[in-house]
């Protein structure tokens, strides 16, 4: 495939995501170090591209790294329980740093250079006093002074900014009804904003690529429960994990953890099937469900290569339409990535497991096993005592799932009459 063909193929596959994201609201947390990173300009270009595609953006930038750098040697940062103690001098630095970083982002978003995504963009950036804060007060005998926590978010005010086709830009500062200024956690602001405006996504751009399993592999997607069960050594990443999980538990559809250090990570996360970081959702990201008539084209595309290879019996579209109620599918972001079917012979209390197929990109991760488990549950509810499978190329897989070799006589009488001797498929059977 040439470079041009690759780009065209990639663009075709992004079409469903472009349509799905248009008009959606994303809150993007620019983590500590993001505004100082070498890839900031490219990241801003990617944010501008999202805006041009119709995504409603709220940006919340962190300042901890910049504040630490601005503190003098005799003004070393003081923390307790992971929270900065903000005295008068530190509050002045925090305020000045937030203003400077905001100007930096506004400047980058105002560029209109040729040959960049910002050419003729004319982006409008808005902000304001939409974060009401309260003092943290004294904890464990420690006075946090001007460190605050979010009390309330002016959701209507933020939505009004977005309705003007503007990017909302918020700094980690909050104001009390008495006019006091507080330094607040940027991640807390991002979480509170996402919940208040019912955002579709809360995206954390951090120095880490995402959450990792115990074996070190990147976790592409997980539920809130499984994310919370992970052991995470890094305090910052653990805090962002907890924030992402709380947001999902409070109505945000999906949270994402990815790295600002990887060029293009944001676009890869949003416009490819597997993304670049970790997606956290309240419910499983991949949903097993009964197939519907609208899924026929997707199932046909999934099983056709296996039919051509002789691994599956060929089925016409007409036959699929007649038998669609027998199928379960595993769907990922609207794409069918696995399927399987159960054909019950209720009089003989036996069922056939058939058409087990997984997309090549998603094999070896237990998806076929998941669908088989669902079909076995169905078989049990139908009072079937056994299931069988006929296979030419997947004998070992079925044996690993508890099936045992059987004879032709173990099949229902109707299936015995239809047995294709030329295909010579192995007969396997197991109890439900």
DSSP 136-188: --EETTEE-BTBEEEEEE-HHHHHHHHHTTEEEEE-SEEE-TTS-EEE--HHH
What is the per-residue pLDDT for 122?
Answer: 80
For the cut 90, the answer to whether the pLDDT of residue 204 exceeds it is yes
For the cut 70, the answer to whether the pLDDT of residue 136 exceeds it is yes
Does the pTM surpass 0.75? The reply is no
- 415-429 confidence digits (pLDDT tens): 888 888 877 888 999
Average pLDDT, rounded, for the chain: 89
For the cut 90, the answer to whether the pLDDT of residue 310 exceeds it is no
Sequence-separated (6 or more) residues with CB below 8 Å from residue 206 = 29, 31, 32, 34, 236, 237, 240, 257, 258, 259, 260
More confident residue, 308 or 222: 222
For the cut 80, the answer to whether the pLDDT of residue 286 exceeds it is no
Instruction: Summarize the confidence of residues 118-147 as an average pLDDT.
Output: 90
Sequence-ordered strand ranges (E) for 8-61? 25-30, 56-61
Instruction: Summarize the confidence of residues 276-283 as an average pLDDT.
Output: 88
What is the per-residue pLDDT for 115?
Answer: 63
Range name among 74-88, 217-231, 259-273 with the lowest pLDDT average: 74-88
What is the per-residue pLDDT for 423?
Answer: 78
> Strand 201-206 and strand 254-259: pairing?
parallel
What is the per-residue pLDDT for 421?
Answer: 82
Class of residue 417 by CB neighbours under 10 A (exposed 0-12, middle 13-18, buried 19+): exposed
State the pLDDT confidence band at 125, using cuts at 50, 70 and 90.
Answer: very high
What is the percent of the chain with per-residue pLDDT over 90, rounded to a whole number?
53
Q: Which of 265, 263, 268, 210 has its CA nearest to residue 39?
A: 263
For the cut 90, the answer to whether the pLDDT of residue 256 exceeds it is yes
**C-alpha span between 23 and 98 (Å, rounded):** 29
What is the per-residue pLDDT for 113?
Answer: 56
Instruction: Summarize the confidence of residues 329-356 as an average pLDDT.
Output: 88
For the cut 80, the answer to whether the pLDDT of residue 71 exceeds it is yes
**C-alpha span between 171 and 127 (Å, rounded):** 9
For the cut 80, the answer to whether the pLDDT of residue 313 exceeds it is no
Angle between helices 235-249 and 186-196 (to 10 degrees): 10
What is the per-residue pLDDT for 288?
Answer: 78
Count of C-beta atoms within a 10 Å radius of residue 243: 22
What is the per-residue pLDDT for 264?
Answer: 94
Contact 278, 226 (CB under 8 A): no
Domains and CATH numbers, the chain: 3-283 (3.40.1160.10), 287-431 (3.40.630.30)
For the cut 70, the answer to whether the pLDDT of residue 225 exceeds it is yes
Instruction: Summarize the confidence of residues 331-339 as an average pLDDT.
Output: 81
Contact 312, 353 (CB under 8 A): no
Q: Which two tokens stand for residue 34?
A: 């993001």
Range name among 122-136, 282-296, 351-365 with the lowest pLDDT average: 282-296
What is the percent of the chain with per-residue pLDDT over 70, rounded to a whole number?
95
What is the per-residue pLDDT for 165?
Answer: 95
What is the per-residue pLDDT for 69?
Answer: 87
**C-alpha span between 193 and 100 (Å, rounded):** 22
Instruction: Summarize the confidence of residues 32-60 as an average pLDDT.
Output: 95
Q: Which two tokens stand for residue 389?
A: 């499978």
Reduce the DSSP state of residue 430 to 3 states and report it. Answer: strand
For the cut 70, the answer to whether the pLDDT of residue 253 exceeds it is yes
Instruction: Summarize the confidence of residues 81-105 as an average pLDDT.
Output: 93
Instruction: Summarize the confidence of residues 201-224 as an average pLDDT.
Output: 92
């Amino acid at each position: 495939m040439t470079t041009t063909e690759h780009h065209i193929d990639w663009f075709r596959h992004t079409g469903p995501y472009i349509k799905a994201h248009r008009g959606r609201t994303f809150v993007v947390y620019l983590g500590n170090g993001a505004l100082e990173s070498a890839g900031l300009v490219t990241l801003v270009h990617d944010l501008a591209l999202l805006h041009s595609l119709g995504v409603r953006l709220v940006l919340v930038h962190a300042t901890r790294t910049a504040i630490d750098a601005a503190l003098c040697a005799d003004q070393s940062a003081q923390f307790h329980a992971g929270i900065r103690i903000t005295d008068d001098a530190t509050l002045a630095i925090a305020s000045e740093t937030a203003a400077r970083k905001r100007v930096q982002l506004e400047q980058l978003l105002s560029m209109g250079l040729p040959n960049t995504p910002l050419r003729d963009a004319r982006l409008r950036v808005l902000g304001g006093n939409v974060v009401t804060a309260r003092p943290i007060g004294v904890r464990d005998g420690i006075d946090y002074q001007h460190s605050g926590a979010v009390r309330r978010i002016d959701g209507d005010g933020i939505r009004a900014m977005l309705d003007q086709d503007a990017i909302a830009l918020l700094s980690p500062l909050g104001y009390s009804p008495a006019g006091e200024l507080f330094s607040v956690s940027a991640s807390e602001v991002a979480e509170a904003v996402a919940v208040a405006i019912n955002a579709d996504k809360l995206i954390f751009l951090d120095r880490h690529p995402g959450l990792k399993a115990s074996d070190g592999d990147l976790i592409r997607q997980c539920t809130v429960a499984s994310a919370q069960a992970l052991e995470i050594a890094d305090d910052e990443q653990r805090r962002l994990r907890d924030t992402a999980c709380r947001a999902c538990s409070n109505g945000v559809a999906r949270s994402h953890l990815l790295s600002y250090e990887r060029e293009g990570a944001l676009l890869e996360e949003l416009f490819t099937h597997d993304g670049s970081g970790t997606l956290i959702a309240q419910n499983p990201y991949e949903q097993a469900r009964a197939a519907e008539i609208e899924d026929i084209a997707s199932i046909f595309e999934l099983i056709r290569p296996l039919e051509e290879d002789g691994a599956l019996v060929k089925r016409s579209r007409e036959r699929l339409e007649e038998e669609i109620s027998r199928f379960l599918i595993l769907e990922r972001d609207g794409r069918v990535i696995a399927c399987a079917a159960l054909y019950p012979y209720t009089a003989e209390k036996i069922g056939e497991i058939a058409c087990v197929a997984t997309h090549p990109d998603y094999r070896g991760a237990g998806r076929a096993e998941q669908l088989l488990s669902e079909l076995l549950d169905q078989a049990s509810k139908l009072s079937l005592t056994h299931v069988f499978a006929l296979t030419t190329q997947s004998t070992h897989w079925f044996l690993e799932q508890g099936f045992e070799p059987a004879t032709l006589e173990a099949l229902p009488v109707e299936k015995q009459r239809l047995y294709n001797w030329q295909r010579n498929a192995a007969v396997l059977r197991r109890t439900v």
